[in-house]
Structure 1
């Protein structure tokens, strides 16, 4: 067998071991019985309920596609940061997807509502999304850190988080603009 594949198989076993350790931590410390766990459940469910009532149904596809862009891009960046040991979530809703509450609900829904507000009122998306990114990076994340819901490691700081948010919201907007342009051109 190729030595590279053998080495790769060893790495996969190490990843399996790390996931098994996280699962053991989750059940051994009964994470699902803690206040922090249920707060993360709240961060997962409440934004989706709010979105259901607040989303502009006349622009449903556009806003949901934008939110999907945010979800996917933020999910990739979050996965990248967790895999490199830059940050993680000690109270995951599901151990294999530790950032689920923020990646799949709170962050995308917040930016979806900002996007909706800016297009409805013809405001500058970049200013308001940047302001929201600053609030997430310098207010919300530090509160999560103080509560023990989010941990930063190595040399990572809140400016790094802001850069991640800015990349995501700008790229998501550019992707949305591209698809809107394609729709106008070919519709």
Structure 2
């Protein structure tokens, strides 16, 4: 099979997958299920809390840090789903990644508040970020598994590595940009 035919085949498989995902959502994950509402709440409620309680004096720093967390978490989550390391059986919006509520709201907001707390209380982000990654891996994800909102198909330490990478890389990126802005 030549390149064009192979690529057309991949595109048709993606269309089939999209159709199957939407049909799955209609049958098992639409607005008539409690799972839909839990996932939607995990998307909306953290953003409301963030709006109400973010330190407005540090909003750009915290926003940049949170955006870094979001991007890194979303890419790693997409990789994990694509590699079948884990997946999310219920979807809030079938056209978006299945983990949108966790990667775009729940995790970034949590880590924004953690970073804000560490800055305001002069606490060690690296320590508390590490402890948080461990808690997300061994407490939060098993809770989601118990609710059948998350399925893990690999070793728990792969998931922990993903969380640690996000926690550390977001802080390093933020520190880099802080240093660059100080030199300007």
Deviation at 1:83, TM superposition (A): 1.0
What is the alpha-carbon distance in structure 1 between the residues aligned to residue 82 and residue 4 of structure 2?
21
Structure 2 unaligned spans of 5+: none
SS of structure 1 residue aligned to 2:98: coil
Q: Which runs of 4+ in 1 moved over 3 A?
A: none
What is the alpha-carbon distance in structure 2 between the residues aligned to residue 71 and residue 102 of structure 1?
9
Deviation at 1:30, TM superposition (A): 5.2
What is the alpha-carbon distance in structure 1 between the residues aligned to residue 157 and residue 35 of structure 2?
25
- Aligned match of 2:101: 101
Structure 1 unaligned spans of 5+: none
Q: TM-score, normalised by structure 1?
A: 0.94
- Aligned match of 1:3: 2
User: Within 5 Å, which residues of 2 pair with 1:85-124?
Assistant: 85-96=84-95, 97-124=97-124
Deviation at 1:11, TM superposition (A): 1.0
- RMSD over equivalenced CA pairs, Å: 1.2
Using the TM superposition, name which of 62-71 and 28-37 deviates more: 28-37
User: Within 5 Å, which residues of 2 pair with 1:23-38?
Assistant: 23-29=22-28, 31-38=30-37
Aligned length: 183
Q: TM-score, normalised by structure 2?
A: 0.95
- The answer on whether the counterparts of 1:44 and 1:100 sit within 8 Å (CA) in structure 2 is yes
- Aligned match of 1:134: 134
